[in-house]
Amino acid sequence: MSRVVLKLGNDISTDIIYPGRYMATVLPTETPQYAFADNKEFNKKLNNKEIPPGSIIVAGENFGCGSSREQAASTLKGHELVIIAKSFARIFLQNAINLGLKVIICPEIEADEGDEIEIIEGFVFNKTKNKKFQITPLPKTRQSIIDAGGLIAYTRKRLIEKT
């Protein structure tokens, strides 16, 4: 059981998730401090560890649009957040999968901040609203990267097979 800690609208850009001025910071150990840096209140809560791992961000269509900056995925992964969105932008979705950030495509999702959410076989169950919403599964090919533990591990495996 996890709670929705932030509800966002459509077209949330990577500039909102991880502002460009912090792009010189690249290490996954350092990027988490700048998650949603311009939303000072939420950023502070994250950095003060007031938000438990597994907490959920709910968003509308096209989450992660804009820049290819991988920091936008690593910053959220650093806080072990789960993103449930109606849809994702292509590069962000791939970056999330590559880094092992948990992303869930749920086109009909209805949830508000504070709602209790449970992920059950193919569905997002909003316990507070007593409603469940179907998850759009990721393509099988993406699943192979997730199963390997991310793209680094998957590539390593492929590299060893090759040689």
Partner 1 sequence: MGMTMVQKILARATGLKEVNVGDVLEPKVDVAMSHENAALVINQFYEIYKGTNLEPKVFDPEKIVIIFDHRVPAESSKTATNQKKIREFVRMQGIKNFHDINSIDGGICHQILPEYGYVRPGYVVVGTDSHTTTHGALGAFAFGIGATEMASIWALGVALNIEVPPTIKVVVNGKLPKYVLPKDIILHLIGKITAEGANFKVLEFHGDTIKNMNVSGRLVLCNMSVEAGATSGIVPVDEETLRYLKEEAGVKENINKLTPDPDAVYDSVVEIDASKLVPQIACPHSVDNVKPVNEVEGKKIDQIVIGSCTNGRLDDLEIAANILKGKKISKSVRMLVFPASWRIYKNALKKGYIGILVDAGAVIMNPGCGCCLGVHQGALGDGEVALSTTNRNFKGRMGNPNSEIYLCSPAVAAASAIKGEITDPRKI
In the complex with partner 1, the residue whose CB is nearer, 24 or 120, is: 24
Phi, psi (rounded to 5 degrees) for 139: -55, 150
Indicate whether 141 belongs to the interface with partner 1 (CB under 8 A): yes
The 93-132 site mask, x for binding partner 1 (CB under 8 A), equals -xx--xx---------------------------------
Indicate whether 46 belongs to the interface with partner 1 (CB under 8 A): no
Tell me the closest approach of the beta carbon of residue 138 to partner 1, in angstroms. 11
DSSP H stretches of helix in the chain: 14-17, 40-47, 71-78, 90-99, 140-148, 151-162
CA–CA distance, 119 with 146 (Å, rounded to integer)? 17
CA–CA distance, 151 with 137 (Å, rounded to integer)? 19
Indicate whether 134 belongs to the interface with partner 1 (CB under 8 A): no
Amino acid identity for residue 107 in this structure: P
Bridge partner list, 143: none
Indicate whether 138 belongs to the interface with partner 1 (CB under 8 A): no
CA–CA distance, 150 with 148 (Å, rounded to integer)? 6
Which parts of this chain interact with partner 1 (CB under 8 A)? 10-11, 13, 15-16, 19-21, 23-27, 38, 61-62, 65-71, 73, 87, 89-91, 94-95, 98-99, 139, 141-142, 144-145, 150-152, 154-156, 158-160, 162-163
